[in-house]
Amino acid sequence: MGALGSLWVFFTLITPGVLGRQCTPPKELLHGSVHVNTGITFGSTITFSCDKGYRLTGDSSATCIVSDKGVIWDNDIPFCESIPCGSPPAIANGEFYSSSRDSFFYGMVVTYHCHVGKNREKLFDLVGEKSIYCTSKDNQVGIWNSPPPRCIAIVKCPVPEIENGHVEYGFKRSFFLNDTVMFKCKPGFTMKGSNVVWCQPNSKWSPPLPTCFRGCLPPQNILHGDHNKRDEEFFSVDQEVSYSCEPGYTLIGTNLVRCTSLGTWSHAAPACEVKSCDAIPNQLLNGHVFLPPNLHLGAEVSFVCDRGFQLNGKSSSQCVPEGETVIWNNKFPVCEQISCDPPPEVENARKLHYSLPIPLKTVVQYSCLLGFRLIGEKTLFCESKDQVKGTWDKAPPVCENWNKFSNCLEPKVPGGFILRSSRPPFGHGDYVTFTCRANFTMKGSRTVWCQANKMWGPTPLPICESEAKCEPPGQIPNGQIKGPLSLQVGKSVYFSCNEGYQLQGQPSSQCVIVEQKAIWTKKPVCKEILCPPPPPVLNGRHTGSFSASVPYGSTVNYTCDPSPEKGMNFILIGEKTIYCTNGSKENGIWSGPAPHCELSAVQCLKPQTDRGQMLSILKDRYSYNDTVTLSCESGFNLKGSKRIRCNAQGSWEPSIPVCEKECQAPPQIINGQKEDMHFLNFDPGTSIRYSCDPGYLLVGEDTIHCTPEGKWTPTAPQCKVAECKPVGPHLFKRPQNHFIRTAVNSSCDEGSQLSESAYQPCQGTIPWFIEIRLCKEITCPPPPIIHNGTHTGSSSEDVPYGTVITYMCYPRSEEGVQFNLIGEHTIRCTSDSRGRGSWSGPAPLCKLSLPAVQCSDVHVANGHKVVNKEAPYFYNDSVTIKCNDGYILNGSSQIRCKANNTWDPQIPLCEKEVNCSFPEDTNGMQKGLRLGKMYRYGATVTLECEDGYTLEGSPQSQCQDDHQWNPPLAICKYQVECILLQSEIRKELKEKKYYYEDTLTLECQDGYTLEGNSQSKCQSNASWVPSLGKCVPRKYKM
């Protein structure tokens, strides 16, 4: 049946009416997302993904499928659970603390600390990051982000000391893990290495302690230049360094710098500024000049001729160095017009009109004399295929003597059809134009004419080949095609260049189809290999050019200059001939380095200077014109010229200088001063006296002397810390105009920060003080309050360092609504870079999570909605109800859509406005009832009596539409019983019970007469009022 049959069978299996049906919209995925890509109709698929830190439990997708006569999702919605981590690794001599000890989830942080002694004293050092957190690489399995720290024995580093330097910051009696020390060299000394070191867990200082030496560090390197002491690491005082720039750059600044006694260089390092070539014309007649952004060394200018013109000269020129300057390496070219030869003459054709030269794009049109027919294309076009020479695009037509009896049959071309033609039948001179069908390529001329010989011509009928082929690619100038040649579409040909030329562009070209025509992709070109100008030689010359580039294979010969002085000869050292060859890059290279020319015969001995040194390269013997630079050792002054030359007589000129001794500035001492009277020079015999600051003792001789050898003797004294002998109480305000020795305690234990200082007065010739730094506990401000949540801390008091605060959201207010904690649920009181108390992170947020809720529309009989919003109604939407005139609202006038899709409170009723009154004074009725209240239609009251009363009537009554209660309201009667004592009362009255407020009508038995009141009422005190009458025997008259 094929694909169409299979499709028909598929659709016959689908339940009618299912196509286009929609599944129920998917619910929101807590901590995740539901991706609806193509809708929720039958056949659609939705996918599920979880937020970062959560993983999917359940199916990751669901498809809307057929079920009975409807459509449903084939899988339930999954849920996203927090990614758990295993328990944090245990560490020796320490433990971790966290908000939970049992469960650990993505994002949770645990912090380690080392065990302490019974009195909270420190026993171990914590090495590594103290906190690690739970993370995940695949969003499935939880892992800890790094290994835990280690608790190692307390680390103690040795007291750091360096020669000719001292501790500038961080001095202590003992040094422990992570303590920092900053060093400073004595005046006149330079530091090598880092001036800041840290105490490491291996009880060593890192980086290594620096050293202080007299002299300078290496001078600054410069871009596009260098200095002549590249291999030296240390430079002595007065040593000089010379800078130079690469060819094509100019030195800006001083080229000579000297190491001073301060350990700095006498001048800033110079800069090498790139040179620029001369300005070049920005216009080219019949062409274009493409200028670079600037004309600096290396800039390249390109030249392109307009269409119809060819370039006479190089297509580009580059700014290159030549000696001390920079020049353009190629001359400015010209654009010459490309022209065609006169068009071919055709016999029996009218004369053509044209003028020479014939430029490109010129069109000539042939026409035949009367009685002749034109066979072939009448129009020729002057073009250039190589942009070098102009040619006519096709052969000229012919003019045949007209033969009215010459008719041609309709031509046929397999794979093609006639696009346009003369009207059949085809006579002498009529034409037919063909085109090929799709996937066919035409070969030959597309138009043919009916000739006098009844054949189509002047060219054979074209051929439509079913498989396109490219034309032969032809040779490339100065190169050739490599390997077997295939003209099929998709095949490639490869090119190589002749010797002396280099390939530019892709090394291959591919046969491709473009607009139903097979053509070759862009071919490469073979560019001539050129070498830069040959290198110059000192005291010599060469046969090449100093500015122009040199073609491949060219040779250059070197010779030395004539003798500079009598008896002196220059000798050529090295190969006298070098040639231009090809390099690994685009340009050519020379076959070897240039030779050099050296003088023979004359040699000078190495110059000797007591207490001096040579800054030039050391040799045993020096040749003619060699120069050396001399300097004195540190502390000696040079007298004479520092630079001398080896002359033709084998001696140095000017004479070798001498070094005289002079003492350097006397050393400074820490916590003391010297009395040097601000001398600038220190000659032998000069004496310097030292003294210490208050609070320090002089150790050693207080005076030193400059010796004839330029050295100070004895060694300068030291000022050591004097023991403080207290002479009074501590001061907490800094004393003015007194010497104060720096604090001995400049760090605090973890959890404390440096606070104010106390000052202890000490005994001495001059009163002095020692500063004592105090530590105070670090505290954090009250933890931030969050909306819809709370925390375990106090909101009004500062919190001690290290305290962990746990946040939690309020429980849900109703079913389906809850607050989710976003962020870290714990924060810790720690310290910032300034030592102030700060929280480890921001407080989390309690974000309201709302369910997908929709409540039904609200309809109230005899009432209406006050419209704020029309249906549908979602969570927390509210509706206000108002009754029509004549009706009263029974229930709340405003209701709210709850999370369980119901209204809260219930939808009210609008009832007819009917009122039933309740008596204002009802004896014995419970006080909970609202006496005198008006009740609406349908309202029900339940009656209860107070103690001592009995309800007579129905306990419940309902308000009717006639404003009456049904059944009638009951009454409460008092339960006090009044007793009848007389026996003469009628039996039926005596057997009855009488209670409070009951009324008795007294009747006597037969034979008795009533004397007194016949009616009485039972009172609350069980008496009758008025008092009962009496039944006395009736008296009969005799």
Domain CATH for 948: 2.10.70.10
Whole-number pLDDT of residue 746: 65
What is the structure's pLDDT at 124?
Answer: 92
Domain shared by 20 and 71, yes or no: yes
Asked whether residue 851 is domain-assigned, the answer is no
Residue type, 957: S
Higher pLDDT, 201 or 1021: 201
Tens digit of each residue's pLDDT (9 = 90 or more) over 679-716: 777 776 788 888 888 878 888 888 888 876 778 888 88
Q: Is 982 in the same domain as 961? A: no
In a domain, 900, yes or no: yes
For residue 772, CA distances in Å to 167, 573, 754, 761, 769 come to 19, 76, 11, 11, 10
Region of residue 79 (left: phi > 0; alpha: psi -120 to 50; beta: else): beta
Which H helix or E strand runs over 851? none
Are the beta carbons of 191 and 165 closer than 8 angstroms? yes
Looking at residue 655, the DSSP 8-state letter turns out to be P
Please tell me the pTM assigned to this model.
0.32
Supply the pLDDT for residue 923.
Answer: 67
The pLDDT confidence band at residue 415, using thresholds 50, 70 and 90, is confident
d(CA 55, CA 141): 9
Residue 985 and residue 924 share a domain: no
pLDDT tens string 512-539: 776 667 788 888 888 888 888 888 888 8
Same domain membership, residue 945 and residue 1017: no
Range of the domain at 928: 915-974
Which residues neighbour 384 within 8 Å (Cβ) at sequence distance 6 or greater? 308, 338, 360, 390, 391
Which of 489, 511, 528 lies at the terminal end of a domain, its last residue? 528
Residue 405, domain member (yes or no): no
Q: What does the chain come to in residues?
A: 1038
Note whether residue 583 is domain-resident.
Answer: no
The pLDDT score that the predictor gives to residue 752 is: 80
Q: Is the pLDDT of residue 951 over 70?
A: yes
Residue 879 and residue 927 in one domain: no
945 and 990 housed in the same domain: no
- For range 1000-1025, the mean pLDDT: 84
**749: helix, strand or coil:** coil
Q: Within a domain: residue 636?
A: no
Strands, E assignment, 595-683:
596-599, 603-605, 612-614, 621-623, 627-632, 636-639, 643-646, 652-653, 658-661, 672-675
| Predicted confidence (pLDDT) per residue in 443-500, tens digit | 888 899 999 899 998 989 998 876 667 888 888 888 888 766 777 766 788 888 888 8
How many folded domains does the chain comprise?
6
Give CA separation, 1024 vs 697, 976, 1002, 1018, 1027, in Å.
123, 12, 12, 5, 5
- Mean of per-residue pLDDT scores for the chain: 83
Kindly state whether residue 39 falls inside one of the protein's structural domains.
yes
Residues 894 and 965 in one domain: no
- Statement to judge: residues 1016 and 948 lie in one domain: no
> The tokens 């360092």 sit on which residue?
801
What pLDDT, on the 0 to 100 scale, is given for residue 173?
Answer: 79
Residues 481 and 523 in one domain: yes
* Tens digits of residue pLDDT in 847-868: 877 777 788 888 888 898 887 7
3-state secondary structure of 738: coil
Domain boundary among 731, 755, 777: 777
Domain annotation covers residue 250? no
Q: Are residues 1002 and 933 located together in one domain of the fold?
A: no
- pLDDT over 60 (residue 67): yes
Last residue of a domain, one of 726, 750, 777: 777
Q: Give me the mean pLDDT over the 60-80 stretch.
A: 87
Does residue 659 lie within any of the structural domains? no
Q: Is the pLDDT of residue 11 over 50?
A: no
User: Which of 130-134, 300-304, 582-586 has the lowest average pLDDT?
Assistant: 582-586
pLDDT at 993: 80
Residue 814, pLDDT above cutoff 90: no
Kindly write down the DSSP assignment for every residue of 21-72, as one continuous string.
-BPPPPPP-TTEEEEESS-SBTT-EEEEEE-TTEEEES-SEEEEEEETTEEE
Is the domain of 886 the same as that of 919?
no
